[in-house]
């Protein structure tokens, strides 16, 4: 591997934001393709941070920091990306439901999904049911992901799923819900396909769904 790509990987894993940004800048000045920097350095490093989070070596603070480093690095790379990724494998619409302004978990999911090559349409926070429905109607995503950290906002997830059904938009759409108060039992109750305990698990579920769909499409 190119030494500068190795430096990007190691510095992100070590959560050194300045070193990562410097190495990304050096890679761009050396003429490296920004997609190569993303695919061979940033994404694998972020996945390694996620693995360490799953094993308990890293905690939420480290995962958040890695997400911030990824965002800052992408700001450096994006101007050099004249066109979108040619290998986008799936599309995800995501947002925190109406009445809830929490975004940390959602933002980590967005960063990890994009690092793995998916197109992510982030509706941000306090997203009304009507906004989710309209976005699904217009963009026809493979997956809808909704988050909530407040128990008072959780019913909005069920209302959105019901509205999608009434609009005949539920068929073929996978729905995942997440947030600390969201349980698998609640997900089943409201008609979601899955609940995730944390950002890494949620991303893994989404990636698995996309792989399954690709396999079905190729049959």
Report whether 99 contacts 153 (CB < 8 A).
Answer: yes
- The DSSP string of 15-48 is T-HHHHHHHHHHHHHTT--HHHHIIIIIHHHHHH
Residues 114, 115, 116, 121, Cα dihedral to 10°: 0
How high is the pLDDT of residue 82? Answer: 52
Higher per-residue confidence, 75 vs 11: 11
Strand-pair partners of 96: 147
Domains, in order of start, for the chain: 3-80 (1.10.1240.10), 91-217 (3.40.50.280)
Residue 25: what pLDDT? Answer: 96
Which residue is listed with tokens 């393709």? 33
Mean pLDDT score of the chain: 90
Higher pLDDT, 84 or 4: 4
H-run or E-run covering 177? strand 174-178
State residue 93's pLDDT score.
Answer: 98
Q: pLDDT, tens digit, for every residue of 126-148?
A: 999 999 999 999 999 999 999 99
């Amino acid at each position: 591997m190119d030494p500068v790509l190795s430096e990007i990987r190691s510095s992100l894993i070590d959560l050194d934001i300045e070193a990562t940004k410097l190495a990304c800048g050096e890679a761009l000045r050396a003429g490296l393709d920004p997609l190569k920097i993303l695919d061979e350095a940033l994404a694998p490093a972020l996945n390694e941070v996620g693995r360490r989070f799953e094993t308990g070596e890293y905690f939420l603070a480290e995962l958040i920091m890695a997400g911030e480093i990824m965002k800052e690095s992408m700001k450096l790379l994006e101007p050099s990306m004249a066109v979108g990724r040619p290998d986008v494998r799936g599309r995800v619409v995501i947002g925190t439901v109406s009445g809830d302004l929490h975004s940390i978990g959602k933002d980590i999911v967005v960063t990890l999904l994009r690092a793995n090559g998916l197109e992510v349409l982030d509706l941000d926070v306090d997203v009304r049911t009507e906004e989710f429905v309209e976005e699904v109607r217009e963009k026809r995503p493979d997956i809808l992901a909704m988050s909530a950290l407040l128990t008072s906002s959780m019913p909005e997830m069920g209302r959105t799923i019901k509205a999608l059904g009434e609009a005949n938009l539920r068929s073929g759409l996978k729905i995942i819900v997440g947030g600390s108060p969201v349980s698998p039992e609640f997900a089943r109750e409201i008609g979601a396909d899955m609940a995730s305990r944390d950002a890494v698990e949620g991303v893994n579920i989404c990636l698995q769904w996309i792989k399954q769909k690709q396999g079905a499409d190729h049959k």
